Amino acid sequence: MPDPLDSLAALRAFVAAADMRSFKIAGQMLGVSSSAIGKAIARLEAQLSVTLFHRTTRTISLTEPGGLFLVRARRMLDELREGEIELAEVAGSPRGRLRVALPLAGNLLTKGLAAFVADNPLVDLDLDYSDRLVDIVEEGFDVAIRTGDTGDSRLLHKTLCRFGWKLVAAPAYLEKHGHPTAAEDLSSHTCLRQRFSSGRLVAWPLPSAPGVDVPVGLVSSLIDPLLDLTLAGAGIASFPEFLVRDALHAGTLVPILEGQQSMEGVMTILWPASRFRVPKVRAFVDCIARHIDM
């Protein structure tokens, strides 16, 4: 059985030679002789039972199997480097880039984010705000904060908070168009709806009137512009309670159909199962959970 360390050295020699198209230059890069590079690659070829390079006295070039193996060899060395970085992080304090996907949630997360930045000066926080359902693993996120579905076996998760929904409108809109008193009245109003990235409309919390077809007067893929339009008197809209709490308190928005709606949402923080031992991920999850502003 080949020595794993010899195989690793041979992989590095092979990739360097393929990149440089030269055993000599590859040897200079790795601090060994061109003869050592040639012997390492010959051992690798014997182990794999293929020829990786066409050789002449002056040049080398990849064979077809060599080109195919180069893709895998790069991937293996990249995985090794990633593993070395993660181990170094686990052994130390939170540091490095932390990529986070999170929803447009007003100031609900602001306190936690500010506390994390203050407490972790060696972490570069990269925030990707979107209402899109990102693939955390495939898109390379370290953490995601999400409202709704958490069904991914590759992820661990923690509930941050539960919240209700509110139908609201600006006083100016209600003065002009009247105040609906039943779900059926919505058919004569301008209803501002949010659309998921999948194309599906976000449901309105009207379980007491399941047959009511809420009209679509305007559709937005993002919730923040929808809130601005509602405040400007464009129509009636549905929002998580935490997003309109301040506006309701100030009277710039008025609740609609109080007592006729019942729908609970949940906000969750998620991360790949392999990442929680990394200090920056663990510190972020703990900080946000501790400072959620409900």
Of 111-115, 176-180, 192-196, the least confident: 192-196
Q: Where in the chain is the domain with CATH 1.10.10.10?
A: 4-90
Of 126-135, 146-155, 216-225, the least confident: 146-155
**Hey, how many other C-beta atoms are within 10 angstroms of the C-beta on 202?**
17
Q: Where in the chain is the domain with CATH 3.40.190.290?
A: 96-294
* pLDDT confidence tier of residue 77, bands split at 50, 70 and 90: confident
Structure tokens at 1: 């059985």
The CATH fold assigned to 96-294 is D-Maltodextrin-Binding Protein; domain 2 (3.40.190)
* pLDDT confidence tier of residue 1, bands split at 50, 70 and 90: very low
pLDDT of residue 235: 94
pLDDT 10s digits, 187-235: 899 999 988 777 788 888 775 555 567 888 899 888 888 999 999 999 9
Rounded-to-integer distance, Cα 73 and Cα 19, Å: 12
**Hey, how many other C-beta atoms are within 10 angstroms of the C-beta on 31?**
7
pLDDT 10s digits, 78-100: 888 777 666 655 556 788 889 99
pTM over 0.85: no
**Hey, how many other C-beta atoms are within 10 angstroms of the C-beta on 101?**
22
- Look up the CATH number of domain 4-90: 1.10.10.10
Rounded-to-integer distance, Cα 76 and Cα 80, Å: 6
Of residues 277 and 234, more confidence is placed in 234
